[in-house]
Amino acid sequence: MKQLGLDHRVSWSKGRGLMRIRLDKLGILMIIAALGSGLVGCGSLQPSWEAPEVTLAAVRLQELGVMRQVFVLTLAVRNPNDRALPVEAISYRLQLEGREIASGQSRFERQIPPHAEAQIEVDLIADLVLLAQRLPALLRSDRPLEWALSGTVTLAGGWVRLPYRRSGRLDPAELAAQTGLAPRSS
């Protein structure tokens, strides 16, 4: 006689005192379904995260050398959630006029309160060849430059990664002034 997909045979293992129950296919599927619904139920107790809004607040030149240029990006990270956002890391890609000029990742621990904004500074090591070839001409441009910032915000524990993407236009003279690369007047 079978009930609930369990095989009716129950046996005792001699010398161990363990009871063995043989399950048929239906019994196994029922156990998997029960466990799965329990996991889904637990997951739904915690609301999902809304991706933070990340914008480029400032760019400044930290080091200008022959072999590398280090910029400091100030990212404004706004938490749109009703609970604190436990940030563990942030990855970023910066594009200027459709070409990636830098990318990287920074690890840190920061709690951003609900509906609040935090400033996060990250080091950015720029592509020397690309900067040498393109930046002088871009800074002399008389039209706004297209930029895009994208990446992921990794929450504490590393299991949740929230993507972000922002883009806009930037005045070349403002970029030159912020980075310290403004043409010198003679």
In this predicted structure, which of 6-10, 86-90, 99-103, 143-147 has the lowest mean pLDDT? 6-10
> Position 42: which residue type?
C
CA distance to 6, 99, 107, 184, per residue, from 120 (Å): 57, 24, 11, 30
- Position 123 scores a pLDDT of 86
- Position 27 scores a pLDDT of 61
What confidence tens digit (pLDDT) does each residue in 113-141 have? 999 999 999 888 776 666 667 777 777 88
Quick check: 110 and 116 in contact, CB under 8 A? Answer: no
Phi, psi of 121, rounded to the nearest 5 degrees: -100, 130
Q: Please state, in angstroms and rounded to a whole number, the distance separating the CA atoms of residues 99 and 107.
A: 25
Question: Which percentage of the chain shows pLDDT scores above 70?
Answer: 68
pTM beyond 0.85: the answer is: no
pLDDT class for 32, splitting at 50, 70, 90? confident
Residue 165 has pLDDT above 80, yes or no: yes
